[in-house]
Every structure is written in C-alpha cells, then in structure tokens.
Amino acid sequence: MRRSNIMVPKPHSNFLSVQCSKCGEKVVIFTYSTTDIECKACGQLVAKKTGGKANIMGKVLSVLD
Ligand SMILES: [Zn+2]
C-alpha cells in the first residue's frame, strides 16, 4: 500500500497572504490567529478569530510556510 500520497496536516500552522477585500492591500496573517486581524492600510477586518483556524474575510492569495 502506498503511503506517500496520504495527506498529513501540518502539525502547526502556516501563514497566509490575504488580500483585503476593501482596499486590496496584501496582509500576511497567521492561520491560527487568536486575534482579529485588520488591514493595516484601511482597518477592514481580514481575518476573524474563531478559537481554531482563523476565518479569512479577504481573498487568500497564497499560503506561506
Ligand atoms: Zn484594506
């Protein structure tokens, strides 16, 4: 049985590059952020804390390690 293709979730987190839905500013956020994250340019909420994985409010551009 092949095991190499099994998806193993990373034990911790990574960072996401998210685009602000309001002004388009790129904001790097922590996937498991415990605080709400606002766009530094306009103050729009880009990620909301949930207790687990942050709820992304903007458009995810890329996943960073
Ligand atoms: Zn913004």
| Cα of 38 from ligand 1 centre, angstroms | 8
Spatial strand order in the sheet of 37-38: 37-38, 45-48, 55-56
CA pair distance 9, 63, nearest whole angstrom: 14
* For residues 32-50, average pLDDT: 94
10 pLDDT higher than 60: no
CA pair distance 27, 40, nearest whole angstrom: 8
> Which carries the bigger pLDDT value, residue 56 or residue 7?
56
| Cα of 52 from ligand 1 centre, angstroms | 24
The two tokens of residue 45 are 């909420």
The two tokens of residue 14 are 């990574």
Q: How confident is the model at residue 51 (pLDDT cuts 50, 70, 90)?
A: confident
| Cα of 62 from ligand 1 centre, angstroms | 17
DSSP state of 23: T
Q: Assign domain 15-64 one CATH number from 3.20.20.60, 3.40.50.620, 2.20.25.100, 3.40.190.10.
A: 2.20.25.100
